[in-house]
Amino acid sequence: MFRRMKLTILPTKNSAIRCLRIEGDFDLYTAPALSRRIQETQATWKHLHLDLDGVRYLDSSGVGAIIRLLQACKSSGRELTFSGIQGSPRKVLQMSNILALLTEVQLTQVSPS
């Protein structure tokens, strides 16, 4: 009925970049686990890229997780970029006034796949 979230680590052009692809529903049930998994790898990257091309449903918990990532990256001087934000997740980020804060790049700029 609902699409659970899947997190995949994509190959990158640079070892300082962590590139994650998120697929499924980024919602009140899956956002806490995603935040924890990203935090677990926090020490190993200088640049985090999230590809949201496979996210079809985003709610305030998912937006909150993105905001916490923005705040954490800003305070630690790490870079955070996004790709693939589309459809209703894009609209939700827009309505929350968060979309304008996100740095969007092409996935091919960070991952050769």
Partner 1 sequence: MNQPIIRKLLVDDRNELFDAQGMRFMEVPSHFGKIREYTRQVLSDCPEHFLEGNLLEQQLSELIKNGIKHGNACNPDKKLRIWYDFRKRVRFIVEDEGAGFVQLDDWNDFFARRQLALFNQDFDKFLRFASYRGPGSDENDGGNSLIAALEYWNGGMIYNRRKNKVGVVRWYMNGSL
User: Which residues contribute to the site for partner 1 (CB under 8 A)?
Assistant: 1-2, 27-29, 31-32, 56-65, 67-68, 70-71, 74, 87-88, 91-92, 95-98, 101
- Which amino acid belongs to residue 24? G
Non-local CB neighbours of 60 within 8 Å, separated by 6+ positions: 28, 92, 96
**Beta carbon of residue 59, minimum distance to partner 1 (angstroms, whole number):** 5
How big is the CA angle at 51 (ends 69 and 100), to the nearest 5 degrees? 60
Q: Nearest distance from residue 10's CB to partner 1, in Å?
A: 25
Task: Please tell me the distance from the alpha carbon of residue 80 to that of residue 91, in angstroms, as a whole number.
Answer: 20
Name the minimum Å distance from CB 45 to partner 1: 20
Q: Are strands 17-26 and 79-83 parallel, antiparallel or unpaired?
A: unpaired
For partner 1, which is the closer residue by CB, 1 or 43? 1
Closest approach, Cβ 42 to partner 1, in A, equals 16
Helix (H, G, I), strand (E, B) or coil at 78: coil
Closest CB to partner 1 among residues 54, 64: 64
